[in-house]
Amino acid sequence: MHLLITGGAGFIGSNLARLALTNGHQVTVIDDLSTGYEENVAGLDIALIRDSILSPEAMARAVRGVDSVVHLAALGSVPRSIKDPMATHAANATGTLSVLEAARAAGVGHVLVASSSSVYGLNPALPKSEREWVRPMSPYAVTKLATEQYPLAYQQSYGMESVAFRFFNVYGPRQRAGHVYAAVIPTFIDALLNGQPLPINGDGSNSRDFTYVGTVCRVLLDACERRVSHPEPVNLAFGTNTALTELVEMIESASGLKAEVVHREPRPGDVKHSQADNAVLRSLFPDISPVPLERGLAETVTWFKEMQ
């Protein structure tokens, strides 16, 4: 199988590229390296196209001879989207349309896309099922709603097979800290290992359904290998619910270090609680077992220590 990974030099994409290669597949990556890192894929036997998914010419090259596309390229971060909504819309909404059009023109009939649990927004239901109402709270969340709805519309309009996965706080090795839009787990681990206080936005009661990147990549690759398609969005998480205060304790345990915590003002657009109903995911991928948070955090801490 020949797999195209958009954003493949990023955190999730580079982990997926490694897994696909290990399983004997051919991999092409397109990444403009605006948020990805070339060292994430250094030494891998892949074709790397250093260009934007918004370039029709680059996308036409990228999809040539491909069996499936995994579309991960995006501008992440709620705060970034609040600061610059136009850039987020261009990369995430228009970018998804660009990928789908390139795939359609090349006759690539199978596309997976990465949406986000942020689309649920103001909906307070826990756990959150795919048929719950959505109410995005940020420009980022709106663009992710477009990201998932475009391929579902392409199913109906063009017969394209697809799955729109709603990711829930994916974490693991190769997720970088040290920048203003870094996710919570790498931010906490990096601060702890460098003797700095862990910054918590709010009182620490916010909770998330953390999902290890290795588990996410196994689902994505299995979806490509079996050419899975589904007419509605699919939560890609396993129904856990961990408060940030609990997360701090678990990272302390994984690292063997004691953390100092500093509380900051809550961020605009942040969802208070997030937890997936995973019934649809388990029906589509019954053989996937999630990596427990304790083990995933231990492996992530080990990676950060090796990077120091």
Rounded to the nearest angstrom, the gap between the alpha carbon of residue 223 and the centroid of all alpha carbons in its chain is: 15
The catalytic residue positions are 140
Neighbours of 242 (CB within 10 A): 18
Does the model's pTM come out above 0.85? yes
How many CB atoms neighbour CB 261 within 10 A? Answer: 14
- Distance (Å, rounded) from C-alpha 34 to C-alpha 41? 15
Closest CA to 166 of 132, 124, 214: 132
What does the pLDDT look like over 153-206, one tens digit per residue? Answer: 999 999 999 999 999 999 999 998 866 556 899 999 999 999 999 888 888 888
Asked which of 95-104, 170-179, 221-230, 263-272 is least confident by mean pLDDT, the reply is 263-272
Nearest to 174 by CA among 5, 2, 17, 4: 17
What does the pLDDT look like over 247-282, one tens digit per residue?
999 999 999 999 888 888 887 777 788 899 999 999
- Please provide the DSSP assignment of 241-257 as one string: -EEHHHHHHHHHHHHT-
CATH superfamily of the domain spanning 2-171+211-239+277-291: NAD(P)-binding Rossmann-like Domain (3.40.50.720)
Other beta carbons less than 10 A from residue 184's beta carbon: 20
